[in-house]
Amino acid sequence: MLLAQFFSRQALLLRKAGRCCCRVEGHKSPLAAHRGKISFHSGTWSLARVVLGIETSCDDTGAAVVDETGQVLGEALCSQKEVHLKTGGIVPTVAQQLHRESIDGVVHDALSASGISPEELTAIATTVKPGLGLSLKVGLAYGVKMVNQYKKPFIPIHHMEAHALTIRLTNPVEFPFLVLLISGGHCMLVVARGVSDYLMLGQSLDEAPGDTLDKAARRLYLVRHPECSTMSGGQAIEHLAQHGSRLHTEGFNLPMAHYPDCNFSFSGMRAHINRLILQKEKEEGLQEDQLLCCAADIAATVQHLVTLHIVKRTHRAILFCKKEGLLPPKNASLVVSGGVASNQYIRRALRTLTDATEFTLLCPPSRLCTDNGIMIAWNGIERLRAGLEILHTVEGFRYMTKAPLGLDISDQVRQAAIKVPRLK
């Protein structure tokens, strides 16, 4: 059976600011360097170019100051998780209001922690696509206001590109490399050939894996579980799955099993899990909203199915890259990023895959997988170095809720009709 062998931070300074849980780091932060490239400012200023990054694409308000040597000079982040747990999901208008309440303080805290004044910034980078329109609007408006006020260049950032390039902040990764981006809103496989040069091998045709995990957690009412009440849906599933045993899923085949491409589909899987939950609720004679005794088993099951699907499509992407010579013949890398990349079960499964295919698996630290201002500022540094889309006027600039990443060659993948063997 596929993956048979596999399947047999430092504490953060937290404070309450309004209704968001905030983190601020900088100057004398004890956060250790990863590979010596990412570090926090010790108070000694250099002449390196410096970028402020602003992130508001979904439900995290983030800002960070990063220089071109890879030093994180200051960071602040406000999460809306507690609010959205109570509402049973992200409500765009609520997210927008929380961004509005938080963004000024978040940017101020990041700059203050860095010891850098707005006048000393080289440029301001802001997420402008893709994401929730009402959330993007807040970050863009704030970035544009600062650009006009301090007469700085503006660097528009593609949210998924920022996730893809975060690894280059923490590891010495050269182009090209294969990237698996998995989050609550996206799932895609791309070959990164340069800072703004991507080949799209496949993407989700319906929902994203993080959304599937979150909805399974809501259907299981895990917010009422004593161990999971403050966790996001995906975190709750991962936590409970450690204590569960996978249930038999007779009659269910992995999505798109007969499609020889790298696209993903999770909606059918979610429907199957919902039927399984309903069946177990009837067996246990539960009333609505009550917790199942076998909730941990179902959590283990849904996590396993999501993982199998991701691994299978990624395996085909690796084989396609080898066949077409898209990556170096030796020391090729698979980079995994995005919020779902924090899931350790999925990481271990992907490591089994990369070990079998002689790839190197690279993941940013978990705190950099979820949305943050650091990745936006770093993407700004990458674009500044390459001289890509450095804008000196922002009049009429608009955000985009949907935006492709690179050239779509998924049809070529399908035409290659690569069969994926079982892993030993």
Cβ atoms of 307 and 344 closer than 8 Å: no
- Domain shared by 221 and 136, yes or no: no
The Cα 229–Cα 202 span in angstroms is 35
Q: What is the mean pLDDT of each run of 10 residues along the chain (424 residues)?
A: 38 35 56 39 61 98 97 97 88 97 98 98 98 98 98 98 98 98 97 98 97 96 93 96 90 89 96 94 88 97 98 99 97 98 98 98 96 99 97 94 98 98 86
- Domain shared by 102 and 206, yes or no: no
Cβ atoms of 5 and 356 closer than 8 Å: no
The Cα 374–Cα 70 span in angstroms is 10
Q: Is 32 part of any domain?
A: yes
Q: How many CB atoms lie within 10 A of CB 205?
A: 15
- Domain shared by 122 and 194, yes or no: no
Q: Is 422 part of any domain?
A: no
pLDDT at res. 20: 55
- Domain shared by 327 and 219, yes or no: yes
- Sign (positive/negative) of CA torsion 323, 326, 329, 335? negative
- Domain shared by 109 and 81, yes or no: yes
Q: Over the Cα atoms of the chain, what is R_g?
A: 21
- Domain shared by 162 and 122, yes or no: yes
Give the pair of three-digit tokens for residue 373. 């201002």
pLDDT at res. 178: 99
Q: Is 421 part of any domain?
A: no
CATH number reported for the structural domain that contains residue 75 in this entry: 3.30.420.40
Domain of 118 in residue numbering reads as: 9-166+370-386
Q: Is 423 part of any domain?
A: no
Note if the pTM is more than 0.85: yes
- CB-based contacts of 13, cutoff 8 Å, min separation 6: 23, 24, 25
Q: Is 214 part of any domain?
A: yes
pLDDT at res. 47: 65
- Domain shared by 359 and 380, yes or no: no
Length of the chain: 424
Q: Is 391 part of any domain?
A: no
Q: Is 74 part of any domain?
A: yes
The Cα 424–Cα 419 span in angstroms is 15
pLDDT at res. 48: 86
- CB-based contacts of 98, cutoff 8 Å, min separation 6: 18, 19, 20, 59, 61, 78, 80, 83
- Domain shared by 98 and 217, yes or no: no
- Domain shared by 289 and 381, yes or no: no
Instruction: Please name every residue paired with 22 in a beta bridge, in sequence order, or none if there are none.
Output: 15, 78
- Domain shared by 97 and 223, yes or no: no
Q: How many domains does the chain have?
A: 2
Give the helix/strand (H/E) hosting 219. helix 209-219
pLDDT at res. 252: 83
pLDDT at res. 376: 99
Q: Is 424 part of any domain?
A: no
Phi first, then psi: what are they for 158, rounded to 5°?
-85, 120
Cβ atoms of 97 and 25 closer than 8 Å: no
- Domain shared by 69 and 109, yes or no: yes
| Closest C-alpha among 256, 248, 243, 303 to residue 279 | 248
Cβ atoms of 299 and 234 closer than 8 Å: no
- Domain shared by 378 and 356, yes or no: no
Instruction: Please name every residue paired with 124 in a beta bridge, in sequence order, or none if there are none.
Output: 52, 154
| Closest C-alpha among 222, 219, 215, 224 to residue 278 | 219
The Cα 286–Cα 326 span in angstroms is 53
Q: How many CB atoms lie within 10 A of CB 52?
A: 31
